[in-house]
Amino acid sequence: MALIDLSKKEIHCKIVYYGPGRCGKTTNLLTVHSSMAEKARGKMLTIETKGDRTLFFDLLPLNLGKIRGFNIRIQLYTVPGQVMYASTRKLVLKGADGLVFVADPLQVRRERNVESLEDLRTSLLEYGLKLEEMPLVIQYNKRDLVDTPIPTLTVAELEADLNSVYKVKTFEASAVTGMGVFETLREISKQTVRYVTNKHLLHETK
Ligand SMILES: Nc1nc2c(ncn2[C@@H]2O[C@H](COP(=O)(O)OP(=O)(O)O)[C@@H](O)[C@H]2O)c(=O)[nH]1
Ligand SMILES: [Mg+2]
């Protein structure tokens, strides 16, 4: 749940980057962190195991400026992808206001994407949240691999697998080069702030 501090005139939103292990969630946050001005970003907290895998979550606080006199603060989280961290993954989702589903285009990960999106939907339901009613964007990551010999899925295939039900905005991206990373963040931030302010009827606050 978003935290609204009326005395400080601040809104805190939580956006979670979700997706199968190794799809590029941590890399998204690292790219955002390295390109944001220092005063707009907080310290990135990341706890990784040896093989650059996220053990608990990554956290990146951002300050997005003001809307209607309220300071907008956003916290970006990632989840650990590995199967054995299912309970941590669910815990990170608690109180999420917006979601980015990061899809891996490697053909060998095709089923993992679908499973992960279903996992997201059912975990949210346990918190009483419906994915189709929440701010959501899908990012088709690693598009830089398309021109390499590595077998990748086409956008049409990914779209059929992951977006035939939700029909949300999608972005082609490469978290390593930065392509599409800010477009994804901008759109989910916009949707999330709108969702949070509508939910709390802030438009009635002067
Ligand atoms: N080629 C390519 N590799 C990527 C991209 N994004 C992430 N990776 C690589 O994929 C691996 C897993 O990325 P990571 O961000 O740790 O995935 P996470 O498990 O979702 O957090 C790392 O070796 C990254 O460098 C991308 O857009 N293109
Ligand atoms: Mg990670």
pLDDT along the chain (206 residues), means of 10: 82 95 94 89 76 75 88 93 78 95 97 97 95 97 97 98 97 98 97 88 50
β pairing state of 45-48 and 70-78:
unpaired
Q: Which residue minimizes the CA distance to atom 8 of ligand 1? A: 24
Q: Is 145 in the pocket of ligand 1 (CB under 6 A)?
A: yes
Q: Is 54 in the pocket of ligand 1 (CB under 6 A)?
A: yes
Dihedrals phi, psi of 59, to nearest 5 degrees? -135, 130
**Superfamily for the 3-204 domain:** P-loop containing nucleotide triphosphate hydrolases (3.40.50.300)
pLDDT of residue 115: 96
Q: Is 176 in the pocket of ligand 1 (CB under 6 A)?
A: yes
CA atoms within a 13 Å half-sphere pointing along the CA-CB vector of 184: 30
Q: Which of these, 13, 74, 7, 8, lies nearest to 198 by C-alpha position?
A: 13
Return all residues near 133 (Cβ < 8 A) that are at least 6 apart.
none
Consecutive H or E run containing 32 = helix 25-35
pLDDT of residue 136: 98
The Cα 71–Cα 5 span in angstroms is 10
Under 8 Å between Cβ of 141 and 152 = no
pLDDT of residue 51: 61
102 CA: nearest ligand 1 atom:
20
